[in-house]
Amino acid sequence: MTAKEKLLREILDADEAEAARARIVVSTGPVEPEMVSLPEGWGETLTGEPMPNVAAAVRRSRESH
- The DSSP output letter for 50 is B
**Alpha carbon distance 9, 52 (integer Å):** 40
C-alpha of 28 from chain center: 17
Q: Dump pLDDT digits (tens) for 13-51.
A: 988 888 888 887 777 877 777 778 878 888 889 999 998
Bridge partners (DSSP) listed for residue 50 = 44
Tallying the residues shown for the chain, one arrives at: 65
pTM for the model stands at 0.34
Would you kindly state where each structural domain of the chain is located, as residue ranges?
Answer: 1-25
Q: What are phi and psi of 56, to 5 degrees?
A: -65, -40
